[in-house]
Structure 1
């Protein structure tokens, strides 16, 4: 059963989203296991950050690197950098250079600039959302210049949303109008860097915040999240060609802030930010069979981030051991 909550009513015919049929000028599909590697980054307060790599023929995870940074973080990769962003307010952003082992802190903002933020890598830059003064603001860090700037504002201000790069666009989906929750959104928009503008896309079937958003081949998937502070197991797929979200088979376990990835032609979802038994559970969705199944669990409890990297990127990381 999926969550019954549905907020942020869909657009009426009068304000139907204006959407172009152009599905993306970067049409390279998400890579799979023959030319990519799957990593999981574990982050627990007071412990070193541990990076695990997935060994597909054994359906197992092994530690491939440790980073001496303590705290509770989400992880993003931007070029050769691993960025660890403070879980709650992004006050602390640690930057780990995988070519030099250098660790430094990016801290260009005043103390209270972010709350309940969300972030994404897009075109080799970090996009950071949910400025407390204006939830429509978009801050961008360019590693080549080591400088922050602002991108055009979102159409809808939001926190606890999900963002991902997909086929030449940056998508933002769901979230909530404020915190605490109970103001979940169904709205979705995407950023076109050529026109430097955000355009509305079709609304989600299910309003939600704290969800996972994954670029998966030709499609986007939104996974889990929360509605009225209750974790949901609902999953939807977005077809940009049709500008339509479709509800899929629900996961076994409801998940908020799930760690998600698309790997070996399958969608993977792992626990949420809480340190409990469910965080070890990895589920895999095979769309051809329309079925979720359990994979081998993560080796230890704790919140994780998933990411897909090239073999060369992984070799560089392991060379630092």
Structure 2
């Protein structure tokens, strides 16, 4: 946001925090920003219309429905709560709306909900075909893709694609292995899957989705295996 990488909440000394700070790409300087109203970790964060949204997460042992919005001029303010409390969810922005996908709140979730900032309302969308905790999520070619995650039994290798016009989820070609805490990102007009955890260890796999042949192509592995759950691509 405005040449800054923003760090929002998380754990400090094993306790959830509401602290927020930024690191500027040009000056290489950290600075503190106004704190959130709610301490939270394992929450979702998205950027929409130059506002940052911190969504759900965990406060001690309670999953949250609360959502806060940050603007440079007004700081943090609470907005409409989600319908379902959740942590470990995926969240993306598409067509000026926020979609929150899956997660966990005592059970593994298939539920999906959508926030419209013009009405300050959350609405229920079609469920994913499979429950997904700690999945990767991104927008690619006007549709939402979710990758992997934990389904309550094992790390999933399945991938689903969401058509917002039809409100339909469709399973597409699966990954070669099941994984959670994986990052999925659209970059250079391609869908990339990076790192993650296969239930036993961190992995360094990198794959690219070939839509013309509906399959995944292996790329050069990351030099260090890891979760890589937060990931951003800077494009000029």
Short-chain TM bin: 0.7 to 0.9
C-alpha separation in 2, matches of 1:203 and 1:85: 28
Aligned with residue 136 of structure 1, among 41, 65, 80: 65
Could you say if the C-alpha distance between residues 235 and 190 of structure 1 is closer, same or farther in structure 2, counting changes exceeding 3 Å?
same
Indicate if the aligned counterparts of 2:21 and 2:31 stay in contact, CA closer than 8 A: yes
CA deviation after TM superposition for structure 1 residue 167, in Å: 1.8
Summarize the alignment of residues 229-244 of structure 1 with structure 2, pairs less than 5 Å apart. 230-244=154-168
Tell me the secondary structure at the aligned position of residue 114 of structure 1. Answer: coil
Match of 1:149 among 51, 64, 77: 77
Deviation of 1:287 (Å): 1.5
Equivalent pair of 2:181/2:196 in contact (CA under 8 Å): yes
Give the corresponding residue for 1:309: 234
CA contact (8 A) 1:188 1:203 kept: yes
Instruction: Compare CA radii of gyration and give the structure with the larger one.
Output: 1
Match of 1:160 among 88, 99, 110: 88
TM-score by length of 2: 0.86
How far 1:109 moved relative to its partner? Answer: 4.7
Number of residue pairs the alignment of both structures matches = 227
The C-alpha deviation readout for 1:7-32, integer Å capped at 9, x for no partner, is xxxxxxxxxxxxxxxxxxxxxxxxxx
| 1:80 matched residue in structure 2 | 3
1:256 positional shift:
0.9
Distance 2:155 2:58 in 1: 25
CA distance in 2 between counterparts of 1:113 and 1:92 reads: 8
Q: Which residue of 2 aligns with 1:44?
A: none
With over 3 angstroms needed to count, the CA separation of the structure-2 counterparts of 1:250 and 1:134, relative to structure 1, is: closer
For 1:108 and 1:91, how far apart are their aligned partners in 2? 5
Residues 256, 271 of structure 1: 8 Å contact kept? no
Aligned to 1:289: 213
Q: Which runs of 5+ in 2 are unaligned?
A: none
Instruction: Pick closer, same or farther for the CA change 1:292–1:300 going to 2, 3 Å.
Output: same
- 2:181, 2:227 within 8 Å by CA — same for their partners in 1? no
Write the deviation string for residues 200-225 of structure 1: whole angstroms up to 9, x where unpaired: 11110001111111011210001111
Q: CA RMSD in A?
A: 2.4
Gap change, CA 1:90 and 1:242, over 3 Å in 2 = farther
Secondary structure at the counterpart of residue 116 of structure 1: coil
2:122 corresponds to 1:122:
no
**Contact 2:162/2:170 (8 A) holds in 1:** yes
Indicate the structure whose relative CO is greater, using CA pairs within 8 Å and at least 6 residues apart: 1
d(CA) in 2 for partners of 1:119, 1:205? 24
* Alpha-carbon distance in 2 for matches of 1:226, 1:151: 29
**Residue 101 (structure 2) pairs with residue 101 (structure 1):** no
1:209-248 alignment, distance < 5 Å? 209-228=133-152, 230-248=154-172
CA distance in 1 between partners of 2:24 and 2:91 (Å): 23
Q: TM-score, normalised by structure 1?
A: 0.64
Query: Quick one: structure 1 residues 127 and 109, their matched pair in 2 at CA, closer, same or farther if it must change by over 3 Å?
Result: closer
Question: 2: CA distance between counterparts of 1:279 and 1:123?
Answer: 35
C-alpha deviations, 1:271-292, integer Å up to 9, x for none?
Answer: 1269x97532101111110111
